[in-house]
Structure 1
Amino acid sequence: MVARKSLYYSVFSALLMWVLLASQSASAWERLRRDAPERYEVVAGDTLWDISARYLHSPWQWPSLWQANPQIRNPHLIYPGDVLILGACQGQPCLSVERGQEVVKLSPQMRTVPKREAITPIPMEVVHAFLREHRVVEPGASLQELAYVVGGDDQRLISGAGDTLYVRGDVPPRGRLGIYRPGEPYMAADGTLLGEELINIGEARYLSSEGDIARIEVLTANQEVRNNDILLPLAERELSEAFVPRAPLNSVAGQIVAVPGGVRFIGRLQVVALDLGTQDGLQPGHVLRVDQQGELVTDPRTQELLRLPNTEAGLVMVFRPYNHMSYALVMQASRVLAVGDRVSTPTR
């Protein structure tokens, strides 16, 4: 009797496991678009997000396609000319890759393979252009303690490229300096300071100093340099292009707190500031869903004010997280987004 119960239990467990695996496999195939191509040749200008959107309803689920395939361990190593082939790996959808050769014959004695640039996760030129112009000072680092312009030659109040300025404060004698002007402080809904925006005005180099006053030369200026503008060593502008679109491992919830540049309405490929950062578990490449709050309506029978359910409105990808906030790029927008819209871990 005991042996029979044990047999029943084993059969039941095996059946349960089979059903579970079958359902997981089915859900994996359901993530694929019906029009997903069996073969796709990567072309110059593609991004990982673009290619993901050809195969998946939710492009941030891209790792579910390539992780099972040892040929695509790192999706950022997909190049123009490569051909992606959709197939199955142990019952799960996966992609294999045929490497493009792109061999150019220069002479009977010599040939070369031209250097190829791997495709990027998102339009990196948009991100790099933004990071050249914007920087965040973390809470606790007072702007009042940073070096600042106190005057120019011949008592100039406004200066430009080629002019000499005088700066008071700690100015490093080596390396290029960034000239910045304070922007808007980033605030959480409860009034907590998340960070202070600095807008790049130009670049300068150290010449000499006497006491706490330094002489600098303005090298470039995209706006006039004024007294009280801030001097800082140029921020490291290198940004890893190896990150891939994926959901955060933990559940997060926050909101869009600002749009750098003062834009009121937000669309695709615009940058937004979020009230979530590394302390919340965010990393470059994390994708968040954007929801807009439902409208208030009046119940026609009871005259009560009712809040309609939230509506999914888009997706953003984090590219530069700080401790308490992050910059993210809008990747999809089915509706016009706005400051105050909620962001959270995507669920599908």
Structure 2
Amino acid sequence: MKKFSTAALILALASAFNSFAASGEEATHSPRCAFLPNAPDQHTVVRGDTLWGISGKFLQHPWCWPQVWGMNKEQIRNPHWIYPGQIVYFDRVAGRLRLGTPVGGGAGATADGRGVPTVRLEPQLRTEGLGQEAVPAIPSNAIEPFLSQPLVIAEDELDTAPRIIATQEGRVMLGKDDKAYVRGELGAGTSFQVFRPGTALKDPDTNKVIAHEAAYLGTIKLERPAQAADEAHVFRVVSVKQEMGIGDRLLPVPPTPILNYVPHPPEHLVNARIVSVYGGVSQAGQNQIVAINRGKKDGMDLGTVLELYRYGKIVADRTDKGSFWAFGSFGRPKVKLPDTQYGSLFIFRAFENISYGLVMQVTDTVQIGDIAKSPE
């Protein structure tokens, strides 16, 4: 995938600027979507910026950008984008943000009576097609590999998939440019991803299996199709992420996804749990991938933002002297400590029962079983 040009994720700033309505005013002054007291007067968009990072310069909660600009659901689904060189201005008197470039190129910019630069929207703000230079919503390299990999595969999907039956010179594991011999129906495909059945993901609340995570091993390309029913196809390994060998299964490389999304809270109240940390480890940090036990059927979609909480412990109140039970080591009153909010989660892929998100702005490690719920 190319530097996230396949997943340009940016906002309808021009439309919002032209039609900033009462809903936008209300969102701007909402305590939940408040501006930072030390927010800058302006920010010039540069290469490497992200929507999340730009928003964080002005807002206490970066995911509030769509609300501040008064975006509706349709604009969120089909956003415009911003590009390097454009300027985001903070009009402190009006309590709103504006996008544009100074009249005359910056040095000769004029100002209105309140000292706010006069701005105009430029034609480079595009509304159709994918701009290679468009600013992405979140760090691109963190999720690029996951946009074209299945991640979750039906339990029986790999059973009938083409499989590697032999390797070049009998090697145990295949490396880049090695040959692999495959049996199975290829259809019209020539490029395939290689998988191995992975972990069964269990819902922390019910302990039931809700999905099967497949281990992505790499990609291979067809060199010579089988010439007879009892002959193997010849493939060459294009890339290797994990060791691959005999018995591993092939699935066609899916079309490159074209995704437009911006951060937004879920439409309905969500109270989810962390099911797994991608890669088989037990903890995650910033810019790592985790899965939650909520999916499309629960209203999860691209760009949904949840807040991460550590579940509050239940402790014995050893200070309670008003109860007979307080005098022993057993039977003391039990009290649940409040859940502790420590970060945000940006959902970038949603399946039926499970979703994957990028960990954002955490002050603690993410652990399996932690809570991910609607922003308060």
TM-score after normalising by structure 2: 0.73
Other-structure match for 1:199? 216
1:252-297 deviation digits (Å, cap 9, x = unpaired): 2211111111233221111111111111111111101111111232
Q: Give, as a single letter, the amino acid of the residue that structure 1 aligns with 2:355.
A: S
Bigger fraction of residues in helix:
1
Other-structure match for 1:93? 95
Indicate how the Cα distance of structure 1 residues 279 and 221 shifts in structure 2: closer, same or farther if over 3 A, else same.
Answer: same
Other-structure match for 2:293? 275
- Is 1:218 the counterpart of 2:222 in the alignment? no
Other-structure match for 2:16? none
Alpha-carbon distance between aligned partners in 1 of 2:177 and 2:63, rounded to the nearest angstrom: 47
After superposing on structure 2, the runs of 4+ consecutive aligned residues of structure 1 that deviate more than 6 Å are 21-25, 72-75, 100-103
Could you say what the CA RMSD is over the residues aligned between the two structures, in angstroms?
Answer: 3.2
Other-structure match for 1:227? 246
Partner residue of 1:135 out of 129, 150, 163:
150
Alpha-carbon distance between aligned partners in 2 of 1:119 and 1:97, rounded to the nearest angstrom: 14
Alpha-carbon distance between aligned partners in 1 of 2:25 and 2:56, rounded to the nearest angstrom: 25
- Are the counterparts in 2 of residues 287 and 345 from structure 1 also a CA contact under 8 Å? yes
SS of the residue 2:375 aligns to: coil
- Are the counterparts in 1 of residues 165 and 181 from structure 2 also a CA contact under 8 Å? yes
Other-structure match for 1:84? 88
SS of the residue 1:136 aligns to: coil
Alpha-carbon distance between aligned partners in 2 of 1:169 and 1:278, rounded to the nearest angstrom: 32
Alpha-carbon distance between aligned partners in 1 of 2:51 and 2:231, rounded to the nearest angstrom: 49
- Are the counterparts in 1 of residues 290 and 356 from structure 2 also a CA contact under 8 Å? yes
Bigger fraction of residues in strand:
1
- Are the counterparts in 1 of residues 32 and 61 from structure 2 also a CA contact under 8 Å? no
- What is the percentage of aligned positions where both structures have the same residue? 30
- Is 1:172 the counterpart of 2:187 in the alignment? yes
The gaps in structure 1 that reach 5 residues or longer are: 1-20, 104-112
Residues 222-231 or 41-50, more deviating: 222-231
Question: Residue 151 of structure 1: CA displacement?
Answer: 1.6
Other-structure match for 1:18? none
- Are the counterparts in 1 of residues 25 and 70 from structure 2 also a CA contact under 8 Å? no
Other-structure match for 1:148? 163
Question: Residue 313 of structure 1: CA displacement?
Answer: 1.6
Larger Rg: 1
Q: Give, as a single letter, the amino acid of the residue that structure 2 aligns with 1:44.
A: R
TM-score after normalising by structure 1: 0.79
Question: Residue 51 of structure 1: CA displacement?
Answer: 0.9
Alpha-carbon distance between aligned partners in 1 of 2:163 and 2:264, rounded to the nearest angstrom: 41
Alpha-carbon distance between aligned partners in 2 of 1:87 and 1:29, rounded to the nearest angstrom: 19
Other-structure match for 1:53? 56
The gaps in structure 2 that reach 5 residues or longer are: 1-23, 106-123, 125-130, 321-325, 327-331
- Is 1:120 the counterpart of 2:136 in the alignment? yes
- Are the counterparts in 2 of residues 251 and 344 from structure 1 also a CA contact under 8 Å? yes
- Is 1:183 the counterpart of 2:198 in the alignment? yes
Question: Residue 229 of structure 1: CA displacement?
Answer: 0.7
- Is 1:332 the counterpart of 2:361 in the alignment? yes
